[in-house]
Structures are given as C-alpha cells and as structure tokens.
Amino acid sequence: MHLHILGICGTFMGGIAVIAKQAGHRVTGCDANVYPPMSSQLEAQGIELIQGFGAEQIELNPDVYVIGNVVTRGKQPLMEAILDRGLPYISGPQWLYENVLRDKWVLAVAGTHGKTTTSGMLAWVLEDAGLNPGYLVGGVPRNFGVSARLTESPFFVIEADEYDTAFFDKRSKFVHYHPRTAVLNNLEYDHADIFPDLAAIETQFHHLVRTVPSNGLVVANGREASLDRVLVRGCWTPVERFGSAPANGQGRSLTPSPLPGGEGDIAAARSGFDGWQAVDQGPNAFDVLFNGQMQGRVEWELLGEHNRMNALAAIAAARHAGVPVKAGIEALGRFQNVKRRLELRGEVGGITVYDDFAHHPTAIETTVAGLRGKVDGARILAVLEPRSNTMKLGTMKAQLPASLQGADAVFCYAGGVDWDVAGALAPLGGKAAVHQDLDALVEAIAREAKSGDHVLIMSNGGFGGIHDKLLARLAQREPASGLI
C-alpha cells in the first residue's frame, strides 16, 4: 500500500511514517517545513519528502492520504483537492489503530507533562526485560536512537496526546488507541488554542478512561485533584496510584468502583492503600515503595522529583505487562533519557549549555529545580522561547515569573509573540531580559555568562539553532575579557 502523509515532519506523524515503512508500505509525505532532524530521520528510512502542500501531489496517486492535525480547511491546496475529488483519507491516529494497535497490548502514557520521558522509560524497561516492544514517542529515547519502531512483540508503548486528532475529528488522539494499560501522568490546563478550560480536557481524559478494559490497569498520579475528578466520573478498571498525597505524605491507591455505573467514593476507596512511592536518596537515587513495602533503589543519571514520578509510573505500567518490579528498577538504572530533556549540548570555557523541551510553566519550574539539584549553588541562566500555541496566546504568562524564580538570570526571546513579555516578567526585576532579535539574545547571554555557569535553553522547537550559535559565540570570546 502507498501512504502519502500530510504533515509528515511532526513527531507523531513522522513516527507513523517510520512504522508504516517498517510494515512494508511505500511511504511519501509532505509538510510546510521539511528540515532536520525529522527530515533526516525520514530520508534515512527511504521516505520521499515534498516541501509544501501543493495540489500537484495528487499525481502521486497513493492508496490513502494520512492527515496530520497541522492540516486545516482552506489553507492547503492538496487537502482541498483530496476533498474535491473524493479521494480516500484517514487521520494518523485512526490509521495507527486499524493497522498496528488493534491486535497489540497497548501501553499508553497520557498527561500534560512527562509523556515522552515516561514513554521512553516504559519502552526501555520492556526492552530490557526482553519483551521487544514496538513504540511511538514524541522524542528520541537515547537507548533506542529513533522515535518509533514496529516489532512482532504483542506490546506497544505509545505517547498518548490529548491534542485533537484532525480537522475532521476533534476528539483527542488518545481515544483511538484503546490501551490495556493507561498511565495518567498528571493533568493541568494546556492547549489553550483548542480547549476553553481544564474541565474540557478532563472530559477528554475521561473518554480515554472509558476505553480501558476491566482486565486492564489505570496508573494515576496520586497528587492530582484533576485526575480524581476524571476517575470519579466513572472507572471500570483497577487503578494504582503513584506519588505522595499532599495532605499526609502517603501515596494513594484506588480500587475499582464496585458500581456498574462506575461512580463511587474515591476517598473511601483509597483508604488503607499507599500505592507507589519514591523516597529521595540524593540527586541520582531514590527508593521505590509499593503499599509501604521496600522494592529496591533506582540509581540513575536523571534528576528531579518529576522524573522520580515518571519512573514510578513506568515501573507500575511495566509490572502490569509482566515485568517484575526488581527488573524494572534495574532497567531504569540503564535508562539514558530522551534527547532534549536536560540534554548537555556542550561546554566552553567552563560554561555548560543544556537543551530542554520545557514549554509550560510547570515543566519550566521542574526543569530549573532539577538542574538546581545538580549544580547546587552555581549560577543558572535560563533562556526561554515561548513557542507553544498556549504560550503564544499568553494564556500562561502570569505563571512565568514564578516558574523561573529558581534561575539566577532569565533571558526570553519574544520574536513572534504578540503579548507584552517584558511586562509579564517584570516581577523578576533586573534578572530578566527580553529580546526580539535572536542574534542580540545570543550576544547578551554570551556577555553575561561566566565560567562555572549553567545555561538552560528551553523551547519546544528548534529555537533558531541557538544552542550551536551560543556555543560558537562563547568559543570566540577572548580570554583577556575576563569572562572565561
């Protein structure tokens, strides 16, 4: 079969392309921005890429067009030609379910934060246990080197995004996946371009919960009131909680509701259960407890409380698939994280530069805190590009100052943003600087950075290649300047 994928250079659609190619299909695709690294990954797989959405691509005559959610009505001539001619098309999530996931034990990881990292952890734990899982995640786990793969294994790990499916299907992507194991990592307001409020996202998460069978498992964050609200609306599946309850410092576990309708008293259901807990044993180690019983100690290279929570979710989900907890703990000690998650990009003159995907205030705050745990009293220079749709709308601008408070200096790139970035960051006082020009931003960071500093660059995009530009600029500085 020949698939032509519209929006192929997105992480999800690019993953579908790789999987379809591995399944033996001919795959071509197009996008508005065909450039590395996704273009390089796809071309290495023998996938032909076309720049733009020109109607002349109809002449490729594929068996089906697979439509990414970047495609909208009236903007891409190719989509209009497909509709005018009555040609066959399908959304990416639906194609994936019908051709890959239907016969798999699907382990889906949903949540506002940590989906990619937790999916990568889970895929690696299954891999390390010899289960050879297929997977599709929104990043590149360094243990694997590619963002997606198809195997003969019955297990498939997928990052379960709540964003809408396509212009003709406004359900969240994850309702198509039909998981047997569902991780609900956390739930905050995000995607302000498509969801009016948190309640609307909670409804979509409840739709996901409704698809999990009674012999499955829901692994849910025990700290999230939003997830409590999702589950109390109806849950027909056993639930295991991970994390600590804010009120009493104990983890929580939720038993399935005994009522056919699914509604029950969550507070009563979780009484007497501790669930999964992580006890911090330093910046690179923590103990794992389940129902109050010691299971083992994870010693790894990752940092931060958020990653400990991600790890608990991965251990619980892998256990449901048959991986002993001890084996999961040992596997995490060999987990190398996902690219662009506090990824070291280089060091020049004692100045260390990191890349991170953080683009939501909560993720920004936890990333800064994780780095702080590593560098202790050394200076952190936080560099932010508000690039996600939610950030571009300014929906989260009031939360930005608090999320960046842990940094010693803050640099923000305001190119392409319509709201008053400088005004939003005013509570940070003199430690915040805003720039409209990328080269000027690089120059300002280079002037400020001193030996021993850690520069943390955060964006969910390429950020104009700022990492390499900054490293090159730092390398040009004269030792006589006193800054190296």
Give the Cα separation of 20 and 18 in Å (integer): 6
CATH class of 100-332: alpha beta
The one-digit pLDDT tens for each residue of the chain (484 residues) are 999 999 999 889 999 999 999 999 999 999 998 766 677 778 888 899 999 999 999 999 999 999 999 999 999 999 999 999 999 999 999 999 999 999 999 999 999 888 999 999 999 999 999 999 999 998 888 889 888 999 999 999 999 999 899 999 999 999 999 999 999 999 987 777 778 889 999 999 999 999 999 999 999 999 999 999 999 999 999 999 999 643 333 333 333 333 333 433 344 334 344 699 999 898 889 999 999 999 999 999 888 888 999 999 999 999 999 999 999 999 999 998 777 777 889 999 999 999 988 778 888 888 898 889 888 899 999 999 887 766 766 777 888 889 999 999 999 998 878 888 889 899 999 899 999 999 999 999 999 999 999 999 988 777 888 999 999 999 987 554 444 3
155-160 sheet: strands from edge to edge: 148-149, 134-136, 155-160, 105-110, 181-184, 217-221, 239-242, 276-280, 285-290, 293-299
Q: In the chain, which residues fall in CATH 3.90.190.20?
A: 343-481
* pTM for the whole structure: 0.80
CA dihedral 244→255→188→455, nearest 10 degrees, is 40
Q: Where in the chain are all domains bearing CATH 3.40.50.720?
A: 2-92
C-alpha to C-alpha distance for 414 and 435, rounded to whole angstroms: 6
pLDDT at 261: 37
CATH fold for the domain made of 2-92: Rossmann fold (3.40.50)
What's the Rg (C-alpha) of the chain? 23
Angstrom distance (rounded) from CA 205 to CA 305 = 24
Output 370-373 pairs: Cβ under 8 A, ≥24 positions apart: 370/303, 370/304, 370/305, 370/306, 370/307, 370/342, 371/303, 371/342, 371/454, 371/456, 372/406, 373/283, 373/303, 373/304
Are 416 and 441 a contacting pair, CB within 8 Å?
no
Tokens of 470: 């900054």
CA–CA separation, 5 vs 37, rounded Å?
17
> Residue 273: what pLDDT?
46
Please tell me the CATH code under which domain 343-481 is placed: 3.90.190.20
For 145, list phi and psi in degrees, rounded to 5: 90, -10
What lies within 8 Å, CB to CB, of 479 at 6+ separation is none
Q: Enumerate long-range contacts of 147-153, CB under 8 Å, 24 or more apart.
A: 147/11, 147/14, 147/15, 147/18, 147/41, 148/14, 148/15, 148/16, 148/18, 148/19, 149/18, 149/19, 149/22, 150/19, 150/22, 150/23, 150/100
Over the range 132-155, which residues count as b (16 or more CB within 10 Å of their CB) and which as e?
ebbbbbbbbbebbeebbbbeebeb
**Comma-separated ranges of CATH 3.40.1190.10 domains in the chain:** 100-332
Q: Tell me, rounded to whole angstroms, the distance of Cα 326 from its chain centroid.
A: 26
Sequence-distant (≥ 6) Cβ neighbours of residue 253 within 8 angstroms: 222, 239, 240, 241, 270, 273, 274, 275, 291
What SS3 string covers 274-339? CCEEEEECCCCEEEEEECCEEEEEEECCCCCHHHHHHHHHHHHHHHHCCCCHHHHHHHHCCCCCEC
